[in-house]
Amino acid sequence: MAAFAPTELLPPPWQVFERIYDEISSGELVYHCMATLGRVITAFTLAMVIGIMIGLVMGLQKAIGRFFDPWLLLMLNLPALVIIILCYLWVGLNEVAAILAVTINKIPNVAVTLREGAKALDRDLLEMARCYRLSKRTTLTEVIWPQLTPFIAAAARSGLALVWKIVLVVELLGRSNGVGFQLHLYFQMFDITGILAYSIAFIVIIWVIEYAAVRPWEQHVNSWRKA
Amino acid sequence: MQISILHKAFQQKPVLGKIQFELNTGETTVLFGPSGCGKSTLLRLLAGLDIEFEGELTHRETRLGVVFQEPRLLPWRTVYQNVAMVAPDKSARIEQLLEETGLQNVAALEASKLSLGMARRVALARALIIEPEALILDEPFVSLDRERASQLRLLLLDIIERYKLKALLVTHDPYEAVQLAHQILVMGGTPSKLQQRIPINLSAAERRDNTLIAKVVNQFFDRPG
């Protein structure tokens, strides 16, 4: 067996888990995962808030939507790498540039999803709100928001997957900590066990976030649809 | 309450011509006519949802309870919340109203789980909670089975009499029109105008007599049955 799959190229699972254990014991793995997670959460939150606002304005104000449509298309199709490199060059090799790059990469996806959500708002219910002279605030929280939450959940779901991948690239290119940095380090040292250890550790974190937070929330906001 | 529409067009195409009438307290006016004759367009003007027309409405400040053809409830809210939302601080009256409209047992149910007939009742309760001076109803009995439609008509009859409302109801069903109306306004033509005004003078008891109503329907609408 060993002759076909030399352990340097494809280390057996127990070696990988042994490495995960070692890295946890030394505190390295927790430190780098936390650095990455911090960036993921910050960039994700920023992108969601800004993207939701842009998407809503574009969906509700037809003229603005038409004007910015080509720009949105451009941003959607601009390679992540280009944005990352430009951010590092223009802002500097620092944390702000890293977060900014990830946020800018993610905003167009959120905006597109929320634009569709705003377009799909039920006109009948909005008319009802007008007829019964509901306040702007009540209309927003009671009539509009519940219709948007499924779209926000969808954007959050696809967003999380995109953000953490881009964060790793950002770390690889210009940060001195985080999972991306560690992967780069082990790549240079040809340490496949280390690369797999960090990959698995991070996948586990994403699973936990998905099943503990994103899914339950998505189910909650969609419950009224399954009548 | 005076209603005077002179002209209404959609993309230069005239849909409504001269339509003038009055709504009186405790009386129901029925707008009657075939589908597509502009009844719903007229209701939208009266409800203030469309303000691009020539004419005059005297009820700009009047509280209107509007019951749309589709109930237009918030599906993610309960029956009680749907009613309470338009009148947040009248909890005692909400209970009473839900009972009057036969909704006391479903108050805690989500609106998305209601049948059409029940949802229409909620829409009616929602219109009543704002203590309207006038009630506007767009085909409130359409797509209900005979039994449910009949129950809902009787409920509406009771409510209009009890609260002394000015009611305006759109329908294309002659039976509904006769049972509820004090005056029937027949619409038709292009652009649609008032073609005929039929007064219906029936007592409260007579309105609950099915055979009598059927007779009156035949007399005015020349329909077998």
Share of chain B above pLDDT 70, in %: 97
What's the confidence (pLDDT) of residue A106? Answer: 94
pLDDT at A219 over 60: yes
Is residue A227 in a domain?
A: no
Q: Which residues of B touch A141 (CB under 8 A)?
A: none
pLDDT in tens, B59-108: 777 888 999 989 999 998 999 999 999 886 777 889 999 999 999 999 99
Contact A127 B113 (CB under 8 A): no
What's the confidence (pLDDT) of residue A70? Answer: 94
Per-residue DSSP letter, B80: H
Mean pLDDT of B147-156: 90
The C-alpha of B217 sits at a distance from chain A's nearest C-alpha, in angstroms, of 34
Mean pLDDT of B198-212: 89
When pLDDT is cut at 50, 70 and 90, the band that residue A111 belongs to is very high
The C-alpha of A59 sits at a distance from chain B's nearest C-alpha, in angstroms, of 21
Structure tokens of A178? 């985080």
Q: Can you point out the beta strands (E) in chain B? A: 2-10, 13-16, 19-22, 28-32, 54-57, 64-67, 134-138, 166-171, 183-188, 193-199
Mean pLDDT of B133-155: 89
Q: List the domain range (segments joined by +) for residue A17.
A: 13-222
Contact B112 A132 (CB under 8 A): no
Is residue A2 in a domain?
A: no
Q: In this complex, is the C-beta atom of B64 within 8 Å of any C-beta atom belonging to chain A?
A: yes
Mean pLDDT estimate for chain A? 90
User: Out of A128, A142, A146, whose CB is closest to B72?
Assistant: A128
Is residue A209 in a domain?
A: yes
Helix axes A179-188, A28-60, angle to 10 degrees: 120
When pLDDT is cut at 50, 70 and 90, the band that residue A3 belongs to is low
Share of chain A above pLDDT 70, in %: 95
When pLDDT is cut at 50, 70 and 90, the band that residue B33 belongs to is confident
Is residue A171 in a domain?
A: yes
Q: In this complex, is the C-beta atom of A222 within 8 Å of any C-beta atom belonging to chain B?
A: no
pLDDT at A7 over 80: no
Strands B28-32 and B64-67, by their bridges, are unpaired
Interface test with A, best of B40, B76, B131 (most A CBs within 10 A): B76
Return the CATH number at A195: 1.10.3720.10
pLDDT in tens, B156-193: 999 998 889 999 999 888 899 999 999 999 988 888 88
What's the confidence (pLDDT) of residue A53? Answer: 93
User: Out of B72, B113, B126, whose CB is closest to A124?
Assistant: B72
pLDDT at B222 over 90: no
pLDDT at A224 over 80: no
Mean pLDDT estimate for chain B? 88
Q: Which residues of A touch B49 (CB under 8 A)?
A: 127, 130-131
Mean pLDDT of A196-206: 91
Mean pLDDT of A32-42: 94
Q: Which residues of A touch B126 (CB under 8 A)?
A: 132
What's the confidence (pLDDT) of residue B170? Answer: 92
pLDDT in tens, A134-147: 998 999 889 999 99
Radius of gyration of chain B (CA): 17
Domain count, chain A: 1
Residue of A nearest to B129 (CA): A132
Structure tokens of B109? 């149910």
pLDDT at A150 over 80: yes
Q: In this complex, is the C-beta atom of A50 within 8 Å of any C-beta atom belonging to chain B?
A: no
Structure tokens of B49? 């949802």
3-state SS string for chain A: CCCCCCCCCCCCHHHHHHHHHHHHHHCHHHHHHHHHHHHHHHHHHHHHHHHHHHHHHHHHCHHHHHHHHHHHHHHHHCCHHHHHHHHHHHHCCCHHHHHHHHHHHHHHHHHHHHHHHHHCCCHHHHHHHHHCCCCHHHHHHHHHHHHHHHHHHHHHHHHHHHHHHHHHHHHHHHCCCCHHHHHHHHHHCCCHHHHHHHHHHHHHHHHHHHHHHHHHHHHHHHHHHCC
Is residue A6 in a domain?
A: no
Within 78-137 of B, beta carbons closer than 8 Å to A belong to: 85-86, 110, 112-113, 126, 130
User: Out of B64, B70, B130, whose CB is closest to A124?
Assistant: B70
Q: Specify the 3-state DSSP secondary structure of B72.
A: coil
Q: Decide which of A224 and A105 is more confident.
A: A105
Structure tokens of B19? 């339509």
What's the confidence (pLDDT) of residue B219? Answer: 83
pLDDT at B52 over 50: yes
H helix or E strand, kind and range, residue B210:
helix B210-221
pLDDT at A226 over 60: no
Q: Decide which of A106 and A10 is more confident.
A: A106
What's the confidence (pLDDT) of residue B225? Answer: 39
Is residue A126 in a domain?
A: yes
Least confident of A40-54, A98-112, B175-189: B175-189
When pLDDT is cut at 50, 70 and 90, the band that residue A213 belongs to is confident
